[in-house]
Amino acid sequence: MRTRGEREQSVARRDASSSSKRAWAWRFALIALALGVAQPAVAVQPDEILKDAGLEARARALSRELRCMVCQNQSIDDSDAPLARDLRVLVRERLTSGDSDSQVIDFLVARYGEFVLLKPRFAWHNALLWLTPAAALVAGAIAMFAAIRRRRAVPLAAAPLSADEERRLAEVIDRAP
């Protein structure tokens, strides 16, 4: 039979276990709620949205491809910077005037340079930017291949034993059980 102290310890362990499970359940619920409520940040203001849904969809697609010159790691679709707003309005103006998507992109590249593109075009002047990751991957693969090959290398031929070494080896073998 358990003593009173053992029973109290058992109850205390059970209570601690259930309270930690409840705390974990609350944390999980709060995280799930936060993730469920979270939505992607879009900085497009209601007064910028075009009435034509097709043009608006094109404008949004173009806005996701253009870099905010202030934030630099965000598209103008996600940025709240005043310059990003001006660029979004400019894109919509060009689209409503009848420009194609490529004409809008070309206009902005001519005005701001290729830095305005989140994904730069492949050209000779930026080939290093595009080819460096592939070259680093190939160099790493070659280095790994060489290291593995070096590790597996077997010595070609061992030098023959001298007479003294052969005698000692024979003694060791003879002594073995």
DSSP state of 77: T
Average pLDDT value for residue range 39-62: 73
- 33 & 67 share domain: no
Place of tokens 């202030």: 70
| Helix boundaries (H) for 38-160 | 53-65, 82-96, 101-112, 127-152
On whether residue 109 sits in a domain, the answer given is yes
Confidence of residue 27 (pLDDT cuts 50, 70, 90): confident
Residue 161 within any structural domain of the chain: no
- Inside any domain, residue 168: no
Higher pLDDT pick, 52 / 58? 58
Domain-located, residue 26: yes
Supply the pLDDT for residue 153: 67
174 or 47: which leads in pLDDT? 174
What are 111-128's pLDDT values in tens digits? 988 888 888 878 788 788
Which of 100, 116, 132 is the C-terminal boundary of a domain?
Answer: 116
Would you say residue 177 lies in a domain? no
Q: Residue 142: which pLDDT band, with cuts at 50, 70 and 90?
A: very high
pLDDT of amino acid 133: 92
Q: How confident is the model at residue 136 (pLDDT cuts 50, 70, 90)?
A: very high
Residues 92 and 130 in one domain: no
Chain CA centroid to CA 39, Å = 19
Q: How many residues does the chain have?
A: 177
pLDDT tens-digit series, residues 2-26: 666 666 666 556 665 566 777 777 8
What b/e string do you get for 19-31 counting C-beta neighbours within 10 Å, with b at 16 or more? eeeeeeeeeeeee
Residue 57: the pLDDT is 87
Q: Look up the domain containing 137 and give its range.
A: 123-148
Residue 157 vs residue 174, higher pLDDT: 174
Query: Of 51, 86, 83, 53, which Cα lies nearest the Cα of 70?
Result: 83
Domain membership of residue 9 (yes or no) is: yes
Looking at the domain assignment, is residue 171 inside a domain? Answer: no
The number of folded domains in the chain is 3
Does residue 163 belong to any structural domain of this protein? no
What residues form DSSP beta bridges with 117?
66
Tell me the whole-structure pTM to 2 decimals.
Answer: 0.52
